[in-house]
Every structure is written in structure tokens, then in C-alpha cells.
Amino acid sequence: MRSIPFTTIKEKIKEACIEANHVLGEDVLEGLRRAKEEEDSPLGREILDQLIENARIAREERIPLCQDTGLAVFFVELGDQVTIEGGLLPEAINEGVREGYRDGFLRKSACHPFSRKNTGDNTPAIIHYQLVPGEQLKITFCAKGGGSENMSRATMLRPADGIEGVENFVVNRVWESQANPCPPVVVGVGIGGTIERATFLAKKSLLTPIGQENPDPELAKIEKRLLKKINDLGIGPAGLGGRTTALDVHIMMEPCHIASLPVAVNLNCHSSRHREIIF
Ligand code: SF4
């Protein structure tokens, strides 16, 4: 068995919260640069330039990329040979979030659904656990903005709707969202499982680096087709027109019930922030 101290996990989570909110991932930056080269609209190019400049300022001056520093979402892969010394894993994660959002002066966005009273420290974090074999603990943090999350949807299609039905649902979702999710967006699609599993897969797919091809050739083809259809919508950067509505589309798929075809779309904005920590 391998033992990992509670405080080590807490400190790394704290660093990840601050780092992800200050430094845009190289894959997202590269996606924005590539989009600028291919963008026909002068206004669209100008906005992409501003997003690249915004990322530079945030990185160099150590300030958040966006005022919405997100709900704290975590994907945990916990090795079955790992124990946490000195406390429980969810407490280490929540304590790291508390300290990271406090010390990084990041906006606290978690509140009671009805009274809207802020919880004050951006907890509770949303944590998805997966038990895996081995002695490794992998935690991926996402700062998930409200504007893009609000545009997400899940549905149960009829099995006969097939690939065409899935593609129509995804493209319509992006079209109906217009400028609300702060385009250019990253489109996460979950297909299969049950309604909650499809939604989980859509969110998890957003962790895939921009530009990375799907290992399943059939899904890779659908992703390319969807990206073209979405960029043909003309919504463009910040919704002001142009060909760059999405930087990428990622799909995750699992088997489902013979009577169902669950599909979920989870959108991420251009401030697509995540960090991976391996212990
Ligand atoms: S959706 Fe993203 S870019 Fe838009 S306000 Fe929220 S975090 Fe910021």
C-alpha cells in the first residue's frame, strides 16, 4: 500500500485552483492562434487577438483569466493500493479549494439554489470518483464557468434517431446557445449509458486536449463533421460573427439500453481551464 499525506493533497489542490485560473493551457492557446489564422471575419480575428492578449496578461500579472472563476469540479482516479494519511480525500480536496480560492483572490461562485446565499468558500466541490488498480492517485481540476454550463443539455433520443439525431441535437444546442457560452467554445458530447452517465461523459470529454483526435475512428469522423457543421453556423468569436464558433468537439461513448439513446452536450467557454495532478 502507498500512503499519501492529506496535507500534500490539499496543497496541490490549492496550487491547481490558482494556476488553472491564471494560466490558460497551451492547447487552448494554440487552438486560439490556429483559429485566428483561419478566421475570415476581421472582427472575429480582433476578438481572438484579445483573448490571446487576455491570456498573456493573466499569466504574467497573475490575475484570473475571467471574473467567473467557476465551480470547482474534480475527476479523481484513485488507485486501490492508495491510502490517505491524516484525513479523508474529499476533505483534502475541499480544503484545497477553500484555501486556493481564498489565497488566490478567486471569486466564490457556489451558492444555495433558492436563497442564493453564497457558501463563502466555493465549496462543496463537485467530485467524480473512479477506483482504478495500482498505487497512483490522479486528480483533474476544472474551473467550470456558469455561462457555458447553463447552455448544457441532456436528452433521451429514440434509438432510430441514430447518428443523425445525435448530430442534430448537438448542432441545435450550439445554435440555440449563441453567444451565451462565450464562444469560441469547446463542445463535449456524451453518448450512451444512462441519462446521468451521458452527462458525466460529456463533461469528462472536455478534459481532452484541443486538437487531440478521438482514438475511435468512427467517433473521430463524427467529431470532424460536427466541428465543421458548428463552425458553419457563423456565430463566431464572442457571438459577433465569424467561422470560429468552436475550437474542438470531443465525444465519449459507452453502451446503452436497447430501448434508449442518451445524449448530453456540455459546453466549455474559451476560458477552458483544467489542471491534472498525479501523486
Ligand atoms: S462562460 Fe467562461 S468566459 Fe464566459 S463568463 Fe463564464 S467563465 Fe468567463
Do residues 158 and 165 touch, judged by C-beta distance below 8 A? yes
pLDDT for position 257: 98
Same domain, 85 and 136: yes
**Quick one: 15 and 102 in the same domain?**
yes
At 253, is the pLDDT very low, low, confident or very high (cuts 50, 70, 90)?
Answer: very high
Q: How many domains does the chain have?
A: 2
The pLDDT value given to residue 23:
97
Ligand 1 near 109 CB (within 6 A) = no
Categorize the per-residue pLDDT at 5 as very low, low, confident or very high, splitting at 50, 70 and 90.
Answer: very high
Say whether both 139 and 151 belong to one domain: no
The CA angle 60-24-183, to the nearest 5 degrees, is 125
Query: Is there a single domain that holds both residue 133 and residue 189?
Result: no
269 lines ligand 1 (CB under 6 A): yes
Judgement on whether residues 180 and 139 belong to the same structural domain of the protein: no
Task: Determine which residue's CA is closest to atom 6 belonging to ligand 1.
Answer: 145
Indicate the pLDDT class of residue 277, thresholds 50, 70 and 90: very high
Q: Which of 118, 144, 170 is the last residue in one of the domains?
A: 144
Classify residue 47: in a domain, yes or no. no
Question: What distance in angstroms lies between residue 146's CA and the mean position of ligand 1's atoms?
Answer: 7
Does the beta carbon of 159 sit less than 6 angstroms from any atom of ligand 1? no
Cell numbers describing residue 91: 476533505
CA nearest 101: which of 118, 87, 88, 120? 120
**Residue 211 domain boundaries:** 147-272
Mean pLDDT rounded to a whole number for the chain? 97
Report CA(143)–ligand 1 centroid distance (Å): 10
**Mean pLDDT confidence for 213-221:** 97
In this prediction, residues 156-166 reach a mean pLDDT of 98
pLDDT confidence tier of residue 157, bands split at 50, 70 and 90: very high
The rounded distance, in Å, linking the Cα atoms of 170 and 263 is: 9
Instruction: Give mean pLDDT, residues 62-77.
Output: 97
Whole-model pTM: value is: 0.95
Q: Is 57 part of a structural domain of the chain?
A: no
Confidence band of 209 (pLDDT split at 50, 70, 90): very high
Q: Residue 143: what pLDDT?
A: 97
Task: Clarify whether residues 93 and 172 are in a common domain.
Answer: no
Question: Does 119 map to a domain?
Answer: yes
Stretch 235-257: mean pLDDT: 97
Whether residue 213 lies inside any domain: the answer is yes
Write out pLDDT tens, residues 8-23.
999 999 999 999 999 9
pLDDT at 154: 98
Of 91, 119, 144, the residue at which a domain comes to its end is 144
- Domain-located, residue 279: no
